Amino acid sequence: MPAEETCEAPLRRQPTQRRSARRVEKMLDACAELLDEIGYEALSTTRIAERAGVAIGSIYQFFPDKRAITQAVTRRHVERFVSRVGRRFLSEDYGGWWDAVDAIIDEYVDMHRTVPGFGVLHFGDVVGLNLLDGVSDSNTVIAGRLRGLLLQEYGLTDSEELDLAILVAVEAADAVLKLAFRRDSEGDPQIVAEAKRLIRGYLNRQFAGASA
């Protein structure tokens, strides 16, 4: 394995000053843009530094390699995704969890269309599954966060069965949405609609009757 892909830790150290935090954000922005433009294989810390307008030493001050930067971008994407879903839950009224599932898929599709690097990292499997931590794959981490939102908002019964159902739903949605974006760079609307129908039908069989 190349030297640039040996480390699991996303950050050598956390930025403690606002100036340093802004510099790290510029690095992450540059990494995300380059992933869309040239892909992971052609990505390098040198190119990230050049795009971000920082010295290469600044990169290594915070990140050991390109994989760690990509990992940090993925973490940021997940945080933004969950935050967007949470804000939507607060601002919109749903008839029940089934409408919330549609909203979750809508946010996922919108981020793929509008957020640099999101589609590459969440649909391209460019680095491997364990982008968010060294134990769980990315979809497992995302499922856990969405599980927490659904439990909080809809009072579903916490159980191992619910954990498994949400994980399977996330995996299934991910697979079908990959197809949607292979068919159409903006996401084939018919396949996106089928993804919603598939997930709603599956979850309805798992916990029918649960509602707000």
- Residues 14, 78, single domain; the answer is no
Supply the pLDDT for residue 94: 82
pLDDT score of 123: 58
37-72: per-residue pLDDT in tens?
998 899 999 999 999 999 999 999 999 999 899 988
Neighbours of 180 (CB within 10 A): 21
Q: What is the pLDDT of residue 20?
A: 80
116 and 149 in a single domain? The answer is yes
Q: Are residues 113 and 198 in the same domain?
A: yes
- Do 12 and 29 lie in a common domain? yes
Higher pLDDT, 150 or 6: 150
Evaluate whether residue 59 is within a structural domain: yes
- At 211, the pLDDT band (50, 70, 90 cuts) reads very low
The pLDDT-based confidence of 12 (bands split at 50, 70, 90) is low
Range of the domain at 16: 3-66
**Does residue 172 share a domain with residue 102?**
yes
158 part of a folded domain: yes
Residue 166 within a domain: yes
Based on the fold, state whether residues 32 and 79 are members of the same structural domain: no
Verify that 138 and 162 share a domain, yes or no: yes
CA gap 70, 120 in Å, rounded: 11
Write the CATH number for 103.
Answer: 1.10.357.10
Q: Which of 15, 40, 66 is the last residue of a domain?
A: 66
Instruction: Identify whether the C-beta of residue 102 lies closer than 8 Å to the C-beta of residue 169.
Output: no
Domain count, the chain: 2
In a domain, residue 212? The reply is: no
- What pLDDT, on the 0 to 100 scale, is given for residue 13? 57
Whether the per-residue pLDDT at 29 is higher than 50: the answer is yes
CATH of the domain at 33: 1.10.10.60
Last residue of a domain, one of 66, 91, 106: 66
**Per-residue pLDDT tens over the stretch 107-154:** 999 999 999 998 887 655 555 444 555 445 667 778 888 888 778 777
Split at pLDDT 50, 70, 90, the class of 7 is: very low
What pLDDT shows up at residue 65? 92
Q: Per residue in 182-203, pLDDT tens?
A: 999 899 999 999 999 999 999 8
Is 53 inside any structural domain? yes
- pLDDT band at residue 209 using 50, 70 and 90 as cut-offs: very low
Residues 18 and 100 in one domain: no
Question: Does residue 201 sit in the same domain as residue 163?
Answer: yes
32 plus 94 within the same structural domain = no
pLDDT 10s digits, 78-103? 889 888 988 988 888 888 888 888 99
Residue 116 neighbours by CB distance under 10 Å = 18
